[in-house]
Chains A and B, each alone.
Chain A
Amino acid sequence: MALKTWRELPTGCVVFEPGSASEYHTGSWRSQRPVWNNQKCIKCGICYVYCPEGCVQQSEDGFFQADMDYCKGCGICAHECWPRAITMIEEG
């Protein structure tokens, strides 16, 4: 997406498209990613509750995964996971 010039900005930078923040992929900020060990996971959903981006989703089998388009790699899910099923690993 081409960046707008200063002349093309709307007055006061008002955003007229609701929900357009989803077009911004905060996943590009990430230096670490969460990896779930489903043998330890008890499907409690605390990672889902605590994720500040709301990017943790539950799969049909009841386990969890993060949407890497939005996961910033903050590690809160790993910190909160009390069965220690989530490990943060360095991005390549």
Chain B
Amino acid sequence: MAKRIGMEVAVAVAEAVGLCDIDMAAVYPITPQSHIAEHLSDLVADGKINAEFVTVESEHSAMSAVIGASGTGARSYTATSSQGLMLMHELLPIASAMRLPITMAIANRAVSGPLNILNDHSDIMPQRDSGWISIFVENAQEAIDMSIIAFKIAEHKDVMLPVNINIDGFQLTHMVEPFEMPTQEEVNKFLPPFVPHATLHPAKPVTMGAFAMSDYFAEIMKAKNEALKNSKKVILEVWDEWAKLFGRGYKPVETYMAEDAEVLMLTMGSMGETAQMAIDALRAKGVKAGLIKLRLWRPFPFEEIKAAIKNAKKLIVTDRAVSFGGPGGPVFSEIKSALYAETHRPAIYDYIYGLGGRDVPVSDFIGMFERVLEDTGNKLVDTYEFWGVRE
């Protein structure tokens, strides 16, 4: 049984990846991800893990290197943040189209400009349609567990897709939190060796990433979309298996006091824990408030979201990125489209908050609930607002 320890989350993520028998990593340092790069390269340099750490000159090269390595059948890992992720953007759909089970941690950070190194979700949101499995974590334990679980999901023969794990920059990466680190034996038992669907090898030549014209392109896009949608089945299975082995279960949508809630709030990432404290405070005052936390961003868990929302009268969606000139935040758009065909739809509101690392105390979440509860005439329904912005 693993013992409970305290460690900086970024370092702990590198430790967890170090338990996963990776063959190579190519990680270009960028705040607030750098401690993952540093600690992973330490583990390799100190001979603690038998892997190649490829030092690259940019994130574009890091992603290119892991694509090439994964193509040879190597278990490949990278991590990045913000501008680094934007630089990888071009390659992300190529990794997923080639069905390479790369695993990547994203220490979520605001995208320039203006330059800002602090946490929000504006780096991952533009990558939404890249064909990757995308998971958000809430605390150190989840960051560690998902860092290990991601390999098993990605490499499952019915999935073969890259996975990104979103870990809020600073808010999580730089915190020292208590957690249980699985032992090497436990990880060995959980994670089988990587069996690739094809490998680049001179003895058996294959072509990966071939050209396709209009006669095949649409079929290839459909196949990729079906693969991503079908990956949910495996994700659920692997999470269940993890729960049996380690006693920590994960679901695409977590709920807190949601069953009888009249007003629900939806969060993603580390803010869920603060919002949970707001729910406790509101419940103490007799408000039927509840929380749903979206863990799985892609493939989007439509059924689970609908089930979690079905009894609510009002739903507050929170967004940590802006879709400029769009209908609200990216999560808001997604939730609205998920509910459009439902006969019972709650009145829905969107608050864009916590941008560029702005602190969001419990009182802010309570404030959002109060604003929505005061909107008895539903005048604010379907609108979005930049929470706490100076007017």
| Residue of B160, B205, B207, B208 with most partner-chain A CB within 10 A | B207
Contact B197 A9 (CB under 8 A): no
Contact B222 A12 (CB under 8 A): no
Which of A5, A11, A18 is within 8 Å of B99, CB to CB? A11
Decide: A12 near B99, CB < 8 A? Known: A3-B215, A6-B223.
Answer: yes
Contact B226 A12 (CB under 8 A): no
Contact A11 B198 (CB under 8 A): yes
Interface residue B307 (Cβ < 8 Å from any Cβ of A): no
Number of interface residues of B (CB under 8 A): 20
Contact B220 A13 (CB under 8 A): yes
Contact B206 A16 (CB under 8 A): yes
Residues of the B chain whose Cβ atoms lie less than 8 Å from the Cβ of A4: 216, 219
Contact A14 B208 (CB under 8 A): yes
Contact B207 A12 (CB under 8 A): no
Contact B216 A3 (CB under 8 A): yes
Which of B99, B207, B215, B222 is within 8 Å of A6, CB to CB? B222
Residues of the B chain whose Cβ atoms lie less than 8 Å from the Cβ of A5: 219
Contact A12 B210 (CB under 8 A): no
Interface string of A1-42 (1 = CB under 8 A from B): 001111101111111101001000000000000000000000
CB distance from A28 to the nearest CB of B (A): 11
Contact B219 A14 (CB under 8 A): no
Contact B207 A7 (CB under 8 A): no
Number of A-B contacts defined by CB within 8 Å: 51
CB distance from A58 to the nearest CB of B (A): 28
Contact B219 A9 (CB under 8 A): yes
What separation, in Å, do the CA atoms of A37 and B212 have in the docked complex? 36
What separation, in Å, do the CA atoms of A21 and B211 have in the docked complex? 10
| Residue of B98, B99, B208, B223 with most partner-chain A CB within 10 A | B223
Interface residue B97 (Cβ < 8 Å from any Cβ of A): yes
Contact A12 B205 (CB under 8 A): no
Interface string of B211-253 (1 = CB under 8 A from A): 0100110011011001000000000000000000000000000
Interface residue B100 (Cβ < 8 Å from any Cβ of A): yes
Which of A12, A15, A18 is within 8 Å of B197, CB to CB? A12
Contact B210 A11 (CB under 8 A): no
What separation, in Å, do the CA atoms of A13 and B160 have in the docked complex? 12
CB distance from B282 to the nearest CB of A (A): 48
Residues of the A chain whose Cβ atoms lie less than 8 Å from the Cβ of B97: 12-13
Contact A14 B197 (CB under 8 A): yes
Residues of the A chain whose Cβ atoms lie less than 8 Å from the Cβ of B223: 6-7, 9
Which residues from chain B sit less than 8 Å from chain A, CB to CB? 97-100, 160, 197-198, 205-208, 210, 212, 215-216, 219-220, 222-223, 226
Report the 8 A-B pairs with minimum CB-CB distance, sorted nearest first.
A12-B99, A15-B207, A6-B219, A14-B198, A18-B205, A6-B222, A6-B223, A11-B197
8 contacting pairs across A/B (C-beta < 8 A): A9-B223, A11-B160, A12-B97, A13-B98, A14-B197, A14-B208, A15-B206, A16-B206
- What 18 new A-B contacts, CB under 8 Å, besides A14-B98, A18-B206? A3-B215, A3-B219, A4-B219, A6-B219, A6-B220, A6-B226, A9-B220, A11-B99, A11-B160, A12-B97, A13-B210, A15-B206, A15-B207, A15-B210, A16-B206, A18-B205, A18-B207, A21-B210
